[in-house]
Amino acid sequence: MNMDDVTARGLVLLGCGKMGSAMLAGWLKGGLPPGSVHVADPNPSDWLQAQGVHINEPLPADPAILLVAVKPQIMDEALAGRETFGSGKTLILSVAAGTPLSRYEAAFGDSAPIIRAMPNTPAAIGRGITAIAGNANVGEDHLSLAEALLTSVGQVVRLEGEHQMDAVTAVSGSGPAYVFHLVETLAAAGEAEGLPPDLAMALAKATVGGAGQLAEDADEAPDQLRRNVTSPNGTTQAALEVLMDETNGFPALLRRAVKAAAERSKELSRG
């Protein structure tokens, strides 16, 4: 199974919100013919309707890919009557949050190859990172195809198994919100030191964005990058002595935050 197979047999997209649209834009830009894409979405956006794909038309019997990109709250409705895609010929790929492989196995049967993926919101600008894990029916060709599709919105990593998905959700799935809050609080701290709000926010956004890009691009590890900008007894060291405090600083705070997110992910997966 490869991208030529997807072109020939088609790709079915259940749901086309922000994440589905981001991925579809990447596939179309990469050369996937619009005529090979079939979308089932009760409220198609104006953007989607302008792409030349099939929208809410009869679906192909055995597409190469069935991508599930609906919200968990409407999962039952979206999967109703889709059991025909469980013949084993179609790869089921889900980017829906909090929905375990077992839920899809119950819907599609024992023969279906199913991959669960956890992307994050920077996928909307092609800068996401997605973790994938498959069920027992998934082979290397399925994983490679999933990677080819998901790299349209950023990096892809393979997990040892679905048991790691809750931790991934807590780190990269929910992680962008932690960074957005860092921007908020850094700007607020700048205001508290006398900066105008607009200037404080501009400084905070550019600093977090630039540092993140540097951390991703540099050959050096983040701890070395931190040392590189920390002069002995300087201003950065004074701040880091507060932030790196093992009791009240980032280490303990982020451990608690990530653990809380992971535990909530486990609760949601259990329904």
Residues 175, 159: Cα–Cα separation, whole Å: 18
Q: How far is CA 168 from CA 88, 105, 164, in A?
A: 28, 22, 6
Nearest to 69 by CA among 33, 105, 23, 107: 23
Q: Which residues are annotated as a binding site for NADP(+)?
A: 14-19, 69-72
Two tokens, residue 200: 């404080």
* Buried b or exposed e, range 142-160, using 16+ CB within 10 angstroms: bbebbbebbebbbbbeebe
Residues 212, 215: Cα–Cα separation, whole Å: 5
Nearest to 261 by CA among 159, 177, 154, 162: 177
Q: Could you identify the residue written with the tokens 């705070």?
A: 253
Q: CA-based angle 163:166:171, to the nearest 5?
A: 130
Residues 75, 94: Cα–Cα separation, whole Å: 11
Q: Which residues are annotated as a binding site for NADPH?
A: 56
Return the amino acid letter for 2. N
Q: Which residues are annotated as a binding site?
A: 14-19, 56, 69-72
**Strand-pair category, 128-134 with 114-118:** antiparallel
Radius of gyration of the chain (CA): 21
The count of residues in the chain is 271
